[in-house]
């Protein structure tokens, strides 16, 4: 709550807050105290450069901070052959847009879905998304293993990642999948394509049809996929761990003067 931040600052502390969702209404993770809290913090960190600009416009001292990779939570699975299951996997929560997206993907490529029970209760009874759901969610090392053994791992951004009409920023999957040694095919977004350039360490789609074509291509082109996996893993391990993120936050706070 804002009062908590004020009390901490009164005691001499500097307060940095990392907001993992979209702080602006009407996004469902916005709360009545969210923006009031942001104004009280010494530093309010978010995953989107466009959100940083919007926060500055309302008087919030904000900076961009991407997520990162934690080897202990999402361990590297180097002992598992990448793509030993020659299909596509999606690991994540259900929403109606994702269901429609997965229904179309499942027509064209082998697909497995792991996620909470909504995939079994809210999807169409005889729909392809429900058939592809594997009956459980995955976390930590179990998720990392499936990411590694699947040829392609999809990352489908949600509406809260649209800022001023376009997808922006990065989420945890951008770092977890290459950290674990998997191949990530993601919704194209502004920051992601800068951190993981397309054709080098990143692969992206803008529409479901582009996603399907990319899936088919990378399922065929194993050598190119493996090369991209190795390059992306090196990038994440060398520059995007949470130890490094902590150092970045420290520098930001020291720079406030």
The DSSP-derived string for 43-81 is: EEEES-HHHHHHHHHTT--EEE----B-TTTS---TTSP
Q: What is the pLDDT of residue 256?
A: 86
> Between 208-220 and 222-239, two packed helices, what is the crossing angle to 10 degrees?
100
Q: What is the pLDDT of residue 122?
A: 97
Q: What is the pLDDT of residue 74?
A: 97
Q: What is the pLDDT of residue 30?
A: 78
CB neighbours of 64 closer than 8 A, spacing ≥ 6? Answer: 45, 46, 47, 48, 49, 52, 191
Q: What is the pLDDT of residue 28?
A: 75
What is the set of domains in the chain, with CATH numbers?
A: 2-65 (no CATH), 85-239 (3.40.50.2000)
pTM listed for this prediction: 0.94
CA–CA gap between residue 218 and residue 156 (Å, rounded): 17
| Rg of the chain, C-alpha, whole Å | 19
Number of Cβ within a 10 Å radius of residue 254: 9
Q: What is the pLDDT of residue 26?
A: 85
CB 182 within 8 A of CB 159: no
Q: What is the pLDDT along the chain (257 residues), one digit of tens a residue?
A: 999 999 999 999 999 999 999 999 888 777 889 999 999 999 999 999 999 999 999 999 999 999 999 999 999 999 999 999 999 999 999 999 999 999 999 999 999 999 999 999 999 999 999 999 999 999 999 999 999 999 999 999 999 899 999 999 999 999 999 999 999 999 999 999 999 999 999 999 999 999 999 999 999 999 999 999 999 999 999 999 999 999 999 999 998 87
CA–CA gap between residue 42 and residue 39 (Å, rounded): 8
């Amino acid at each position: 709550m804002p009062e908590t931040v004020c009390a901490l600052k009164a005691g001499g502390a500097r307060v940095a807050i990392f907001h993992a969702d979209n702080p602006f209404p009407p996004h469902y993770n916005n709360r009545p105290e969210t923006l009031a809290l942001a104004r009280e913090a010494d530093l309010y960190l978010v995953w989107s450069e466009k959100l940083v600009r919007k926060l500055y416009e309302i008087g919030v001292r904000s900076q961009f901070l991407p997520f990162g990779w934690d080897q202990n939570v999402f361990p590297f699975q180097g002992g598992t052959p990448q793509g030993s299951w020659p299909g596509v996997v999606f690991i994540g929560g259900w929403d109606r847009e994702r269901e429609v997206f997965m229904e179309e993907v499942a027509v064209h490529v082998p697909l497995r879905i792991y996620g909470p029970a909504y995939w079994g209760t809210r999807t169409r009874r005889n729909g392809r998304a429900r058939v592809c759901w594997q009956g459980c969610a995955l976390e930590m090392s179990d998720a990392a293993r499936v990411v590694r053994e699947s040829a392609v791992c999809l990352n489908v951004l949600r509406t809260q990642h649209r800022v001023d009409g376009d997808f922006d920023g990065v989420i945890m999957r951008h770092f977890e999948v290459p950290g674990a040694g998997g191949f990530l095919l993601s919704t194209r977004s502004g920051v992601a394509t800068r951190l993981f350039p397309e054709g080098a360490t990143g692969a992206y789609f803008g529409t479901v049809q582009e996603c399907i074509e990319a899936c088919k291509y990378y399922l065929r082109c194993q050598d190119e996929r493996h090369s991209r996996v190795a390059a992306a893993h090196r990038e994440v391990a060398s520059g995007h761990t949470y130890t490094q993120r902590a150092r970045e936050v420290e520098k930001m706070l020291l720079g406030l003067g």
